[in-house]
Amino acid sequence: MSVVVQKYGGSSVADAEGIKRVARRIVDARKNDNQVVVVVSAMGDTTDELIDLAEQVSPMPAGREFDMLLTAGERIAMALLAMAIKNLGHEAQSFTGSQAGVITDSVHNKARIIDVTPGRIRESLEAGNIAIVAGFQGVSADSKDITTLGRGGSDTTAVALAAALDAEVCEIYTDVDGIFTADPRVVKKATKIDWISFEDMLELAASGSKVLLHRCVEYARRYNIPIHVRSSFSGLPGTWVSNEKPELQGGKQVEHAIISGVAHDVSAAQVTVRGVPDKPQATAKLFRALADAHLSVDMVDVKASPVCPDLADISFLVPRDELSQALRALKGVRSSVSFTWLGHDTEIAKLSLVGMGVRTTPGIAATFIEALSAEGVDVHLVTSSGINIEAVVPQHQVDIAVRAVHTCFGLDRSDGEAKVYAGTGR
């Protein structure tokens, strides 16, 4: 009997009717002679509501108690879903992340999974139950405290369990019919992708695509777990994410697109440090301070200072909700690095063009910049890697920028508009 892992996002279980609809889909999978493990997110906007409540009590909620609070949302959803499945005549058991054997490091609010020991899940499956697991959470191997994996961590929970249980597939259910060439809420003519490689999906996820979390795709690639992204609101086939190109009807393989899609991220802030001594040791101290604070940076740009040739100006992006920690960490090394100015901009967005054609097709960068220029988009910063081009643009212009680039590279669909069933993106 094959093991199938399914994950349902908050928009899929937003209310009682949604939970009952999801329960019917799960029971159908069980009837197909599969052992079914379900990972569930908190209902609707529960996590956001809990964060807002915490911020009313404490100006900068973080750490152990914050994790204890946030994990409540998934525990509510898993219990309700198990009840709905039992009401349909099938046995179900719900498990917290720690009960499911999700072992993490001890970094609160954005822990990383270091091991999965799903003994209780296996026992439940062998007893004929459907196992329901609270996503987004685990338990620290050192402190034994409850931890959370960061926003979107339920995706990672699902793939990690799929790998530990040697599942046939990990199905990620959301509120759209798969992965699109752009966010269908912004680009109505976005085209659904039938198959995308792990490599391209990693770039899209890291660049702001909301459907899959970057760490989830990274985990799936490492353990070669195929992901099928589908809508919980329809029965349509979705998007396959895997190493190997699947075959369509007739035995033809899916083509690897030259350009996979356009992603954007409005959750970042740009930090600029001016007047840094133009020495590797000074730059290293800045980024070591950020690393010691468990902060990640993106799109690093180092250029000579217009004021003095012996100084450099450094810009980079950080998640906006980590901006205060980043600024505090940099201020802590100001005396030893001796930079002259520290500033930030929260009204920016990151725009990314992703695909193998970026590496192999001449003129991609020029076309990308020309498309933005034609719409009057102000480009602050541009970087490029093997399979993507990224630009920092004003946040108020990002929707125009996404649509311009999407159209310019021929990604618009010709038959109607993409269907969005709910609206949260997960």
CATH 3.40.1160.10 fits 2-244, yes or no: yes
- This prediction has a pTM of 0.86
Architecture in CATH for domain 265-345: 2-Layer Sandwich (3.30)
Q: What pLDDT does 426 receive?
A: 47
Tens of pLDDT, residues 298-330: 999 999 999 898 999 999 999 998 999 999 999
3-state secondary structure 347-384: CEEEEEEECCHHHHCCCHHHHHHHHHHHCCCCCCEEEE
The two structure tokens encoding residue 186: 């912004």
CA gap 91, 75 in Å, rounded: 18
User: What are the extents of the domains in the chain?
Assistant: 2-244, 265-345, 348-408
Q: What pLDDT does 425 receive?
A: 47
Number of Cβ atoms within 10 Å of the Cβ of 232: 23
The two structure tokens encoding residue 312: 């450099």
Give φ, ψ of 95 to 5 degrees.
-140, 140
Tens of pLDDT, residues 333-383: 999 999 999 999 999 999 999 988 887 788 888 999 999 999 999 998 888
CATH number of the structural domain 348-408: 3.30.2130.10
Is 400 in a helix, a strand, or coil?
Answer: helix
User: Residues 6 or more apart from 264 whose CB is under 8 A from it?
Assistant: 182, 183, 186, 207, 208, 349, 350, 351, 352, 398, 401, 402
> Alpha carbon of 281 to those of 15, 243, 284, 326: distances in Å?
54, 40, 5, 19
Is 104 in a helix, a strand, or coil?
Answer: strand
Complete edge-to-edge strand list for the sheet that includes strand 381-384: 261-265, 348-354, 388-394, 381-384
Which single residue is written with the structure tokens 């440090």?
Answer: 273
CB 18 within 8 A of CB 184: no
